[in-house]
Every structure is written in C-alpha cells, then in structure tokens.
Amino acid sequence: MFDFEKDLAKIDGWLTKREGSFLYEIAKKVQPPNVIVEIGSWKGKSTICLAKGSEAGHKAAVYAIDPHTGSPEHHQKFGKIDTFHEFRLNLKKAEVDHRVHPFRSASQDAVKSFNSPIGFLFIDGNHSIKAVRADFHLWFPKVEEGGIIAFHDSWHSDGPIVVSARALLTSPKIKNPGVVDSITHFEKVFKNNHGDRLKNILFLTYRSPLGAMSFVDSHLKELKILS
C-alpha cells in the first residue's frame, strides 16, 4: 500500500502529496510493453512514486533519466553536487530498485538510443525554456497514443509554463488537459478535434490561479498533518 508520508518522508525533493499520488495512479495504469519515463529524478522522490505505482499495477518498467549533477537552479542553492549514490540508496530502501532503470545521462543523449514505447512521460528536469522545449520535442514522438505527458512546476517556472502552454495551444495531438498542484498533464492522441482544442485553450485561462490555489491548499493540509 502506498503511503506518501511514510514512504517518502526522509527523501529530499519538491513534490506534494497530491502530486505523488497522481504519479502513483498514472504509473499504475501503464501496461507493458509501454514504459514510464521520468526526466529529472533528483534523489528519487518522484521516481519512487512511479515505481510503487508500477508495482501495484502492471509492472511497467520505469526509466529514470538524470545526469545527477544538478540543474542551474540546484547549483545556485547547493553548488557542485552528485546525487546518484543517494538516489540509488533511496530506491533500494524503498524496495523498488529492481523496477527502475537509471540513465545517468542528459535527456538529449538518452533519447538517441531509447526505443521503447512510452505510456507515461514525466518532465521534471532543467526548467529553462530551451531545456524543457528540447525534452518535450525529443520525447513526445516516442509516447504512444493514449499515453500521458506531465510537466512539473508548470505554473511558476518559465520552461514548463511556456512549453506546456504552447503545446496545448498548437498541437493537433493533445487533449484532456488537467492540473494537480503544480503538475500540468494531458493525453496524446492521433488527432484532436475542434472541441478538444477549445478545451485546451479554456484550460490555460484558469491553470495558473487554479494551480496556485491547489498548491497552497495542499501545503496547508500537510502542515496541519505535521503540527
């Protein structure tokens, strides 16, 4: 049974309980041969949510892609870092290391040799517009129809905001957008229709305030639990 507080309490990361539960539930639905791909793992908090969901569902493989040297944001806070050892240790403690395939490389390098069909793509790497755009455009073609794409920090970081908004406004292959705290997610389809495109546009008009309110509410609830 997945318990966000118990399973992840001692792991550093920026993930709310609702975001963790969302990752768990989506991963639970992915059926092989489709796989789960995470871009940006940090110390494994979100990776464990994905792996626990996979274990409870159809046991799809989880690929965790991260050079483990941190993003520019991390360097500003922590300086030079290497999180790989702690990442692997956290997966082992959570007893999901057998489900996760780490790619210790940049997203743009890992994609070159990646051929598995993707059922769930979670983008949470470098948050610059250039990096998020590259992650999305390189990996989106590998997502199967019916697969889910999700961006973390999609209402307060420039890259996820701009790239997810542009995709929702212009792509003929996206529908059913939603938001869970700071995660924006949508479904890949062969071709959306006029109604789908209108819903995508309308979604963007309320995403930021809805996400902000949801995020604050989530943290207030967590503080009440801890107090």
Per-residue pLDDT, 226? 42
d(CA 68, CA 80): 11
Average pLDDT value for the chain = 89
- Note the pTM of the prediction, 2 decimals: 0.89
For 144, phi then psi, to 5°, come to -75, 155
Question: Could you report the per-residue pLDDT of 181-218, keeping only the tens digit for each?
Answer: 999 999 999 999 999 999 999 898 877 655 445 544 54
List the 100-103 sheet strands across, edge first.
100-103, 62-65, 35-39, 118-123, 143-151, 183-188, 174-180
Give Cα 144 to chain centroid, integer Å.
16
Token reading at 76: 């500003």
Class level of CATH domain 4-226: alpha beta
Closest by CA to 150, choosing from 170, 115, 174, is: 174
Please check whether residue 12 is in contact with residue 42, taking contact to mean a CB–CB distance below 8 angstroms.
yes
**Mean pLDDT confidence for 153-167:** 91
Segments making up each domain of the chain, as ranges: 4-226
Q: Tell me if residue 123 falls in helix, strand or coil.
A: strand
Query: 18, 180 in Cβ contact below 8 A?
Result: yes
